[in-house]
Amino acid sequence: MMAAARLSFSDITALAPMVRVGTLPMRLLALDYGADVVYCEELIDIKMVQCQRVVNEVLETVDFVAPDDRVMFRTCKREKDRVVFQMGTADPDRALAVARLVEKDVAAIDVNMGCPKEYSTKGGMGAALLSDPDKIEAILKKLVTGVSKPVTCKIRILPSLEETISLVQRIEKTGVTAIAVHGRFKEERPRHPVHCDYIQAVAQAISIPVIANGGSLDLVKTNSDIEEFRKATGTSSVMLARAAMWNASVFTRQGPLPVEKVMEEYLKYAIRYDNNAFNTKYCLCQMLRDKVESPLGKQVQAAQTNADISEAYGLQDFYQQTLEQLQTRRGALQSSSQPDRPIMDGDVTTMAVKFERREYPPQITPKMFLLEWSRKEKLEQPQYETVQRSQDRAFQSTVTVAEKKYRSSLWEKSKKFAEQAAAIVCLRILGIPEGRIGEEDSGLVCKRKREGRMNGTTEEDVSKKRHVADILHSTETSEPTVVANGDGHKPTTPEKPPESPEQLTL
Ligand SMILES: Cc1cc2nc3c(=O)[nH]c(=O)nc-3n(C[C@H](O)[C@H](O)[C@H](O)COP(=O)(O)O)c2cc1C
């Protein structure tokens, strides 16, 4: 197979990294409108290293999911060759661990060295790195040698031109592919004019591509202004933050399109990719700008779910259809998934199993079998934990046995059935009979029959049952591919309010 071409940073127009704004819907929208490269929001290394990479087959995304089930970073095939993963870090080893985690799902890795906010600088990240060039060098060198994708960084300018040039020359030597330069000093606010002369001097001093940034407020208002900004900074590449946040159609030559149209397209992506509702709201409010207090703005602000937001924009039908399509896909995935194949969902072993009452003799259930077996093995009683989802009131149960968790990926109509399904999963994984009619070695059924006949107990034949240690060992070592089905993971971005029930159910 041919390796994909490395992402080039010359002659590009990019969507800049923006916390909260640069999530998947905005990145896809920017690509639609003509951005060549899209940066994700800055994600902090400490949070990212704890994430698990999960393939979400329903949404057709790759999710990086935190231990608390939050989706820290969601990406998809469409942007794979265009998305730059930006991280906040002050630690070379952690930076490398994060880069390796996301490497195969993104086009490049970027380190944020320009954020002046306290939450970033107090950990030695962001703009704090600018005064620690040794640390910059250590981080970038580690990344350049440690990953196969291009590595870039985004800086602000230093108090003097000489210092700025000496820093970028040192950065160039680490082997990075490009440097984005936000033409403002650390202390300057976004309202201050951008220093195009600094960016120009940097572009002349190094030979790797320089991406000019900082022109949104005073210079870049329309697509043709991008060209002017390129000329003013002497760079071939430009990166836009606020201009794109306000109206992403700034990337299109035909633009700008009316912001109402842009908001609608944005919302469609947010629905399609089950974006966190509070994140969706936040982005729409940025686009509404001075209209945030209009009747539409107030409706958006009051919304709690993506369904509410869709209503505000008259997109209820789109919302409903998309939801149905996703449900259908989930159903198809569940029925096509081989029921015997266990799939890890976080730390839970799952199988697509349904409890069919008619398959078991009266008064015999898998739960009874599991209890009986646990007692025999001197294990704690199985613990069941059941959740109910709001959209159809269906139940799903997780059973814990010997500190391992088991669950059916299929939802049941009652709590009792959900528990039975979870018990079946556990029994099947451990290779223990479950009491089904016609099942070989159905110990409990035999026992009950014997009890009926002899009014006494006989030792069950346990020879076919594997010892718990063997069984648990075998499930650990034959760790299956991690595949999620879209249930339960709450898409979100850092520092956001809690998710709506909607996200829990999709
Ligand atoms: C809402 C918002 C969030 C931002 N988040 C980040 C970030 O995560 N990482 C980063 O390097 N810069 C971040 N920035 C700074 C921008 O990337 C950019 O450098 C700055 O806004 C100047 O560019 P502009 O004039 O095109 O807006 C953010 C800016 C805004 C407005």
- How far apart CA 275 and CA 499 sit, in angstroms, is 10
Q: How far is CA 401 from CA 281, 376, 460, 471, in A?
A: 41, 13, 21, 12
Task: Pick the residue whose CA is nearest to atom 18 on ligand 1.
Answer: 241
Ligand 1 centroid to Cα of residue 18, in Å, is 5
Among 19, 154, 229, 496, the mutation site with the greatest number of ligand 1 atoms within 8 A of its Cβ is: 19
Whether 88 contacts 42, CB under 8 Å = yes
Pick the atom of ligand 1 nearest to 213's CA.
Answer: 23
Ligand 1 centroid to Cα of residue 160, in Å, is 22
CB atoms within 10 A of CB 342: 18
Ligand 1 centroid to Cα of residue 19, in Å, is 7
**Tokens 């399904």 sit at which residue?**
421
Contacts of residue 143, Cβ cutoff 8 Å, sequence gap at least 6: 92, 95, 96, 99, 109, 111, 151
The sheet carrying 70-75 orders its strands as 483-484, 52-56, 61-65, 70-75, 490-491
> Ligand 1 in contact with 19 (CB < 6 A)?
yes
Q: How do the pLDDT tens digits run along the chain, 506 residues long?
A: 455 689 999 999 999 999 999 999 999 999 999 999 999 999 999 999 999 999 999 999 999 999 888 999 999 999 999 999 999 999 999 999 999 999 999 999 999 998 888 888 888 999 899 999 999 999 999 999 999 999 999 999 999 999 999 999 999 999 999 999 999 999 999 899 999 999 999 999 999 999 999 999 888 988 999 999 999 999 999 999 999 999 999 999 987 899 999 999 999 999 999 999 999 999 999 999 999 999 999 999 999 999 999 999 999 999 999 999 999 998 888 777 665 678 888 899 999 888 988 888 888 999 999 999 999 999 999 999 999 876 667 899 999 999 999 999 888 889 999 999 999 999 999 988 888 887 765 444 444 443 433 333 333 333 333 333 332 333 333 333 334 444 444 444 433 333 332 222 22
Task: Pick the residue whose CA is nearest to atom 2 on ligand 1.
Answer: 18
The residues annotated with a catalytic role in the active site are 115
Q: Which amino acid is present at 440?
A: E
Task: Pick the residue whose CA is nearest to atom 19 on ligand 1.
Answer: 182
CA 496, chain centre distance (Å)? 14
> Ligand 1 in contact with 180 (CB < 6 A)?
no
Ligand 1 centroid to Cα of residue 421, in Å, is 49
Whether 224 contacts 247, CB under 8 Å = no
Q: How far is CA 235 from CA 210, 227, 261, in A?
A: 6, 10, 31
pTM of the model: 0.73
Contacts of residue 117, Cβ cutoff 8 Å, sequence gap at least 6: 126
Q: What domains are defined for the chain?
A: 2-257 (3.20.20.70), 343-477 (3.30.160.20)
Q: Is 386 in a helix, a strand, or coil?
A: strand
Task: Pick the residue whose CA is nearest to atom 10 on ligand 1.
Answer: 17
Task: Pick the residue whose CA is nearest to atom 13 on ligand 1.
Answer: 18
> Ligand 1 in contact with 42 (CB < 6 A)?
yes
> Ligand 1 in contact with 215 (CB < 6 A)?
yes
Among 13, 18, 229, the mutation site with the greatest number of ligand 1 atoms within 8 A of its Cβ is: 18
Pick the atom of ligand 1 nearest to 154's CA.
Answer: 11
For residue 64, the model assigns a pLDDT of 96
Q: Which amino acid is present at 306?
A: N
Ligand 1 centroid to Cα of residue 270, in Å, is 21
- How far apart CA 436 and CA 460 sit, in angstroms, is 16
Query: CB-based burial of residue 2 (10 Å sphere; 0-12 exposed, 13-18 middle, 19+ buried)?
Result: exposed
**Tokens 């971005």 sit at which residue?**
493
Q: Which amino acid is present at 14?
A: A
Task: Pick the residue whose CA is nearest to atom 1 on ligand 1.
Answer: 18
214-219 contacts: CB < 8 A, separation 24 or more? 214/181, 214/182, 214/183, 214/184, 215/183, 215/240, 215/243, 216/190, 216/240, 216/241, 216/242, 216/243, 216/244, 217/190, 217/191, 217/242, 218/193, 218/194, 219/194
- How far apart CA 259 and CA 296 sit, in angstroms, is 13
CB atoms within 10 A of CB 380: 12
Pick the atom of ligand 1 nearest to 242's CA.
Answer: 27
> Ligand 1 in contact with 14 (CB < 6 A)?
no
| Tokens describing residue 464 | 């076919």
> Ligand 1 in contact with 156 (CB < 6 A)?
no
For residue 477, the model assigns a pLDDT of 32
Whether 164 contacts 202, CB under 8 Å = yes
Query: CB-based burial of residue 440 (10 Å sphere; 0-12 exposed, 13-18 middle, 19+ buried)?
Result: exposed
The radius of gyration of the chain's CA atoms, rounded to the nearest angstrom, is 27
Whether 9 contacts 179, CB under 8 Å = no
Query: CB-based burial of residue 438 (10 Å sphere; 0-12 exposed, 13-18 middle, 19+ buried)?
Result: exposed
Q: Is 39 in a helix, a strand, or coil?
A: strand
Q: Are strands 151-157 and 108-113 parallel, antiparallel or unpaired?
A: parallel
Task: Pick the residue whose CA is nearest to atom 22 on ligand 1.
Answer: 214
- How far apart CA 270 and CA 308 sit, in angstroms, is 13
Whether 368 contacts 435, CB under 8 Å = yes
| Tokens describing residue 20 | 């909260």
Ligand 1 centroid to Cα of residue 192, in Å, is 14
- Interior/surface letters 82-120, b for 16+ CB within 10 angstroms, e for the rest: bbbbbbbbbbbebbbebbebbbebbbbbbbbbbbbeeeb
Beta-ladder partners of 62:
55, 75
Beta-ladder partners of 154:
112, 180
Ligand 1 centroid to Cα of residue 240, in Å, is 8
| Tokens describing residue 363 | 């008064």
Ligand 1 centroid to Cα of residue 281, in Å, is 19
Pick the atom of ligand 1 nearest to 184's CA.
Answer: 22
